[in-house]
Structure 1
């Protein structure tokens, strides 16, 4: 039986990190619950105090096929390299210079939204097509692949 998957990020600023990943993946911030026109309205109704309103956020694939990404505030900062990371497929079907140019363009676009470029790995055919390692605004590593 297939299962739904949610990917959870521990972070300092859930709203900001959700906005970054929505931009990176073409996702959208999850809509508020039915019956509410905004998250502010829902949180008011639920009695959530203002200082707790950025404790969590989520983004979803607008087409409904990709996993939900959930962002939760934690007190500690990132300490070591991720053991699991996302690969953002920014150049599917491309190879060589064309692939690397597409990855570079996406790296620049995401850097303008707060990502940092960490390293570039050149193509090494036949098994490695080349990729760029990036970090999101809170330092979580991901690859442009």
Structure 2
């Protein structure tokens, strides 16, 4: 039997730091703090200052940010998670079509409406409600950059 593979979901963005903040709050994840790694790379000359920005009072990689599940393992020095993880990377082109891959967020029993309302306060937008009776009932929503996700 082959061991399961490690993976992360990479999401193209126009503002990686802001979208990481949204998804960390939406999912109850933590934004990875890679400031120690960045400090070491800067001091050794392996990273130019232009590759770094500041966000929420700490140094971060420009155009890159990640969030990880708070209970999954991570490297304390690099801040990089070794479990459930989303990586956001800035790209030059804007989003133009529907996502081919999306996140489904599952609410607690009878908690879908409260979760949808909470996500709206974080910057999400309701796109449409889907009710297929016994097969399922969910909201299609947009994150702050217009990426579709579902709340069931």
TM-score, scaled to structure 1: 0.80
**Which one is further off, 114-123 or 20-29?**
114-123
Which residue of structure 2 lines up, in the alignment, with residue 133 of structure 1?
A: 140
2:135 equivalent to 1:118:
no
CA deviation string 1:39-86 (max 9, x = no partner): 5x4564333316764310111111017521000010011010011110
Provide the rounded CA distance (Å) in 1 between the counterparts of 2:151 and 2:138.
Answer: 6
Of 23, 36, 45, the match for 2:25:
23
2:54 equivalent to 1:47:
no
TM-score, scaled to structure 2: 0.77
Give aligned pairs, total. 131
Higher strand share: 2
- Asked whether the equivalents of residues 7 and 69 of structure 1 are also in contact (C-alpha less than 8 Å), the reply is yes
Provide the rounded CA distance (Å) in 2 between the counterparts of 1:43 and 1:14.
Answer: 20
Which residue of structure 1 lines up, in the alignment, with residue 10 of structure 2?
A: 8
- Asked whether the equivalents of residues 8 and 69 of structure 1 are also in contact (C-alpha less than 8 Å), the reply is yes
2:143 equivalent to 1:142:
no
Provide the rounded CA distance (Å) in 2 between the counterparts of 1:51 and 1:60.
Answer: 21
Unaligned ranges ≥5, structure 1 = none
